[in-house]
Chain A
Amino acid sequence: MAFAAFSTTTTPSTDPVARRRSPVALFLLLPGILYLMLFFLTPLVSLLLTSFQAPREFGDIGQYDYAFRWQNYVEVVTTYWPHIVRSFSYALAATFFALLISYPLAYFIGVKARSWPLLQSLMLVLVIAPFFISFLLRTLAWKQLFSDESFVVQSLKALSLLGPEAHVTGTAFSVIFGLTYNFIPFMTLPLYTTLERLDVRYLEAGNDLYASPFQVFRKVTIPLSMPGIVAGTLLTFIPAAGDYINASRDFLGGTGTQMMGNVIEANFLVLQNYPTAAALSIILMTVILVIVSIYVKRSGTEELL
């Protein structure tokens, strides 16, 4: 038991810190721990068990038995590796473009517009405003804009920037575009909160110490806004990797742009192939966890350079 472990490792009566920490903190943590056990750990275990299930002998479609069928994973990876690779490369691309667009935006709102609070709040509202409309609707709107008959595509074709037979929807471009567009606020807001607190006196000190504006940006601004960059990229990358709306054929995707989310959805809801869907989910989760922990660790140490 946790309490017992506590008291054996520390000398209880002589160490006031340990004594003060134990019962109250654990008591306060209890609801959170219970919540996590119930709504996070239980489904996770159930998902893990499902991923090893085997089809029931002589059973119907969608009937499975608990087993340890690790071959599920081999099958999933050999069948769906293009989707796995695609998911992470699309998510990476979307995160990259979102960062590229959001950083200057957040910098302008958080640093340059400081002396005009009204402009600052107006621009923040503009960043958040799209949230007020369902993102399904907004994504559908982009589908309209990118459809073959749309003004945009017609004009691009008229200008010969697009071949007569080319499409925009259903391409990697439109999916990455959609992901980038939908996750920009998640990137901008954390960036804004760190940049808003950025002390310009550090930038001045950098300037004073012979650093050109670009060097100041690289050596001072970026490291000091690292918390915002890490938060923003995680908030974009993680949901983008599992996203199934943008890449769906009903929205901006096509047959050649399916991501893991789409495959999981199809296996779970249409094919009723629960073990495959579960195995894919576990793979998605594990890869994200590995990537994120490497990333957090590296960005943490890079800060020191």
Chain B
Amino acid sequence: MAVGAFADRGADLKLVSIEKRFPGFTAIENLNLTIPAGSFFALLGPSGCGKTTTLRLVAGLEEPTNGRILIGGADVTNQKSFQRPVNTVFQSYALFPHMTVLENVAFGLRRRKIGDPVAKAHEALLLVELDHLAHRKPQQLSGGQQQRVALARAIVNRPALLLLDEPLGALDLKLRRQMQLELKTIQEEVGLTFLHVTHDQEEAMTMADTIAVMNKGRIEQMGEPQQLYELPKTAFVANFLGQSNLFTGPVVGTTSTAIAVDVSGEKIVVPVRRAHRASGQVTIGVRPEKLTLHTQGPIHDAGRNVMGPGRVIDVSFSGVSTQYLVAVPGVKTLVVFAQNVAFGPAVHVGAQVWLSWNIDHGFGLDDDPAEAPRYEADLDTKTIARQRRSSLITELEGA
């Protein structure tokens, strides 16, 4: 594709068995990825998992050790960065310090000899609400303003493929939501292809058509946001994208529609179509908001899984919902989110409760349970803090 004009539509991106090795470190191993033209694709993953490296490979700033990169069907693996119809919003912004904001934004247009670069640059700056600062130097802007300039500098080129490396990380919530909307509008209007890297799972879920969750240089799972959330394939995805209550146990019964898993004596049923594995040791799970608390039990309902009794060890109020931590002896501590439909928490710390959930809400992972713990270290800080706290509490209770 020629780089001498604006792209009239997005191009698809295809990564074929990409591998990237740095001296003594494999950053990406065997990455296969297809991003359809005109889609908003989010790459989600913990710090250091290889997201930036993937973008750099696509932009041509890094050469893959193995594999091929195709943009719009054309093999660009051997093309230089400036020849590729791609622009990047860099994680570090990389705004030219010797140019004004306006010249930064007009830089790409000038290199491609596109008519009226100054007017177009002003337009892009208006879009990010920074036109009044067009004649400042980047050093004279705040972090969030710099980030928006970086965004304008890339978007103004209308590239067939736009790479965004955490482009909204430095913005406050309100501005971030606004920019998300702005980005989504631009992407849809022109039909450009966006490859968006982010830490923020909510951002990924609301903006992207497709999300790929990356971990340690590999794609763990890829799909529509809802599918990823409802049917995570691995423990890593189940915990990285929202929270999950996971249980491990052997499959003790199978019918044509469901499997039964023995979790410390309780029989938990998961529909076959929602389970990635149907025999041997399996890990199954359920999302915290799918759980219902009962103060009286046990409940007998063929359509629900029941667990308990357990004890409420923590209640934390967070506005729309309340989070309960329930320690069930022999199983583990479960997280429950309950909507605050009534005034105040339904139960208090120390209360005895049972938990139940619709069997259609459970899911079975594809992980080999023996391998699952290797992901523990990468959990987000909030979860780690919570785990610390609950282990401390159990320790205190044991003493």
Q: Using a CB–CB distance below 8 Å, which chain A residues touch chain B? A: 199, 201-202, 204-213, 215-216, 219-220, 223-224, 226, 303-304
> When the two chains form their complex, are residues A204 and B111 in contact, meaning their CB atoms are under 8 A apart?
no
B87 interface hit (Cβ, 8 Å): yes
Distance in angstroms between the alpha carbons of A199 and B88 in the assembled complex: 17
The answer, yes or no, to whether B112 is at the interface (CB within 8 Å) is yes
Residues of chain A with a CB closer than 8 A to B81's CB: 204, 207-208
List of B residues within 8 angstroms of A208 by Cβ: 59, 61, 81-82, 86-88, 90
**How far does the alpha carbon of A224 sit from the alpha carbon of B98 in the complex, in Å?**
7
B90 touches A209 (CB 8 A): no
Tell me which of B86, B92, B94, B111 contacts A211 (CB under 8 A).
B111
A121 to B100, CA, bound (A): 36
Contacts of B99 in A (CB 8 A): 304
Contacts of B328 in A (CB 8 A): none
Q: Is B196 an interface residue (CB 8 A)?
A: no
Q: Is the CB of B82 within 8 A of A207?
A: yes
- Report the separation of the CA atoms of residues A226 and B95 in the bound assembly, to the nearest whole angstrom: 17
Chain A residues with Cβ below 8 Å from B80 are 207, 213
14 contacts between A and B (CB under 8 A): A202-B94, A202-B96, A204-B81, A205-B90, A205-B95, A207-B81, A208-B59, A208-B61, A208-B81, A209-B82, A209-B107, A213-B80, A213-B82, A216-B82
Question: Which of chain B's residues have a CB closer than 8 A to the CB of A303?
Answer: 98
Neighbouring A residues of B3 by C-beta, 8 Å: 210
Interchain CA distance A186-B81 in the complex, whole Å: 35
Residue B108 is within 8 A (CB to CB) of chain A in the complex: yes
For A303, the closest partner residue in chain B by CB is: B98
Given A201-B90, A226-B98, 19 more A-B residue pairs with CB atoms under 8 Å apart are A201-B92, A202-B97, A204-B61, A205-B95, A206-B82, A206-B107, A207-B61, A207-B81, A208-B88, A209-B107, A209-B157, A210-B112, A210-B157, A211-B107, A213-B80, A215-B111, A220-B96, A224-B98, A303-B98
Q: Is the interface of B mostly helix, strand, loop or mixed?
A: loop
Q: Which residue on chain A has the smallest CB distance to residue B112?
A: A210
Would you give the shortest CB distance from B93 to chain A, in whole angstroms?
A: 9
Task: Give the contact-size bracket for chain B.
Answer: 20 to 34
Q: Are B94 and A205 in contact (CB under 8 A)?
A: yes
Rounded to whole angstroms, the CA-CA distance of A210 and B88 in the bound complex is: 11
B87 touches A209 (CB 8 A): yes
Proximity string of chain B (61-100) to chain A, C-beta cutoff 8 Å, 1 when within and 0 when not:
1000000000000000000111000111010101111111
* Inter-chain contacts of B274 with A (CB < 8 A): none
Complex Cα gap A258–B7 (Å): 63
Of all chain B residues, the one with the shortest Cβ separation from A215 is B111
Shortest A302–chain B CB gap in Å is: 10
Give complex CA distance A209, B60 in Å: 12
* B14 interfacial by beta-carbon distance below 8 Å: no
**Is there contact, CB below 8 Å, between B82 and A212?**
yes
B153: Cβ under 8 A from any A Cβ: yes
Contacts of A224 in B (CB 8 A): 97-98
Question: Whole-angstrom distance between the alpha carbons of A226 and B97 in the complex?
Answer: 12
Residues of A contacting B92 in the complex (Cβ-Cβ under 8 angstroms): 201
- Please, how many angstroms separate the alpha-carbon atoms of A210 and B3 in the complex? 8
What is the minimal beta-carbon distance from A35 to any residue of chain B, in angstroms? 35
Bound Cα distance from A213 to B81, whole angstroms: 10
A201 adjacent to B94 (CB under 8 Å):
yes
Nearest chain A CB to B195's CB is how many angstroms away?
14
How far does the alpha carbon of A206 sit from the alpha carbon of B108 in the complex, in Å? 8
Residues from chain B with a CB closer than 8 A to the CB of A212 are 82
Distance (whole angstroms) from the CB of B78 to the closest CB of chain A = 15
CB neighbours of A204 from chain B (8 A): 61, 81, 90, 94
- Please name the residue on chain A nearest to B92 by beta carbon: A201
Which of B61, B82, B95, B98 interacts with A210 by CB under 8 Å? B82
CB nearest neighbor in A for B107:
A209
Residues of A within 8 A of B88 (CB): 205, 208
A178 to B208 alpha-carbon distance, docked (Å)? 65
Residue pair B60, A207 in contact (C-beta under 8 Å): yes
Residues of A within 8 A of B108 (CB): 209-210
Q: Across chains A and B, which 4 residue pairs bring their CB atoms closest together, nearest first?
A: A209-B108, A205-B94, A207-B81, A210-B111
Least Cβ–Cβ distance between B166 and chain A, in angstroms? 15
Whole-angstrom distance between the Cβ of B114 and the nearest chain A Cβ: 10
Nearest-CB residue, chain A, relative to B3: A210
Closest chain-A Cβ to B110's Cβ sits at a distance in Å of: 9
The proximity string for B residues 98-139 relative to A, scoring 1 for CB distances below 8 Å and 0 otherwise, is 111000000110011000000000000000000000000000
Residue of A nearest to B90 (CB): A205
Closest to A115 in B: B23
**Given A210-B111, A211-B82, A212-B82 in contact, is the A205-B98 Cβ separation under 8 Å?**
no
Distance between Cα atoms of A212 and B88 in the complex (Å): 16
Distance in angstroms between the alpha carbons of A226 and B98 in the assembled complex: 10
Interface centre among A209, A215, A226 (most CB of B within 10 A): A209
B242 CB → nearest A CB, Å: 34
Of A201, A205, A210, chain B has the most CB atoms within 10 Å of the CB of A210
